[in-house]
Amino acid sequence: MIVKAKQAPAEQRFLLRNVAWPQYRAFAAALGERHVRLTYDGKDLELMTVSHGHVRGGEMLDRFLNVVTEEMDIPMQSGGSTTLNREDVERGLEPDRCYYLEHEYLVRDKDEIDLSVDPPPDLAIEIEISRSCLNRMAIYAALKVPELWRFDGSLLRVYHLTADGNYVEASASRHFPFLPIGEVQAFLLRRGQLDETKLVKSFRQWVREQIARGWAQP
């Protein structure tokens, strides 16, 4: 059964009930590089088209994190919105952005990630301009992604995966403990006031000022 879910302007979500793992993989293969996000929780499959505002939020956070890792000389490999899935738990999704930080050295020479043998990304970013029909946080937890950032267009939240397999909201990032999340949010909220070039330059200047004042690497 196909259900059309509630949507934000320019974003549409369709839910397919009772989808088996082979069917999910067939959908993913058929869609290829088309701009449709798939979320699979073991029984239901959500298809989502992505709005400009959705993409924009992810792009800005990505550029900010690139500034931080460059200025702090922190090793990083970006996974973009690569598909994350594991057959053994029958879960899969595409994050808006994901990154290898602590485990970057384990995937440095790899162009393909296999979560049955490779570690999951250390950090994933979720842009929530509209709400998913499925519990994406539970899927991230099943895939064992240790840190998740969620941005709904106005509020940026950080979550850590605990030993019992649940996410708890945190005041700081495990991988960027020196980075005030409220300040990152404030820069994100300026995206309607400045063009991206000026906004990123402003963020970089702020980061350099914090480094000069004593930011330390994790």
Task: Tell me what pLDDT residue 20 has.
Answer: 93
From the CA atom positions of the chain, what is the Rg in Å? 18
Continuous H helices in the chain: 21-31, 52-72, 104-107, 136-143, 181-188, 196-212
In a domain, 8, yes or no: no
Dist. CA 60–CA 56, nearest whole Å: 6
In a domain, 189, yes or no: yes
For 121-133, write each residue's pLDDT tens digit.
Answer: 999 999 887 677 7
Task: Tell me what pLDDT residue 37 has.
Answer: 82
For 74-103, write each residue's pLDDT tens digit.
Answer: 999 999 888 899 999 999 999 999 999 999
Give me the CATH number covering residue 160: 3.90.1570
In a domain, 9, yes or no: no
In a domain, 80, yes or no: yes
Mean pLDDT, consecutive 10-residue stretches, the chain (218 aa), reads 45 86 88 77 87 75 96 94 92 94 95 93 89 88 97 94 96 95 95 92 97 79
Number of domains in the chain: 1
Contact in structure between 217 and 76 (CB atoms under 8 Å): no
In a domain, 39, yes or no: no
In a domain, 15, yes or no: no
In a domain, 27, yes or no: no
Task: Tell me what pLDDT residue 36 has.
Answer: 78
In a domain, 139, yes or no: yes
Q: Which domain holds residue 167?
A: 52-212
Task: Tell me what pLDDT residue 6 has.
Answer: 44
34 contact partners, CB below 8 Å, separation of at least 6: none
Task: Tell me what pLDDT residue 2 has.
Answer: 42
Instruction: Name the 3-class secondary structure at 167.
Output: strand
Dist. CA 58–CA 37, nearest whole Å: 14
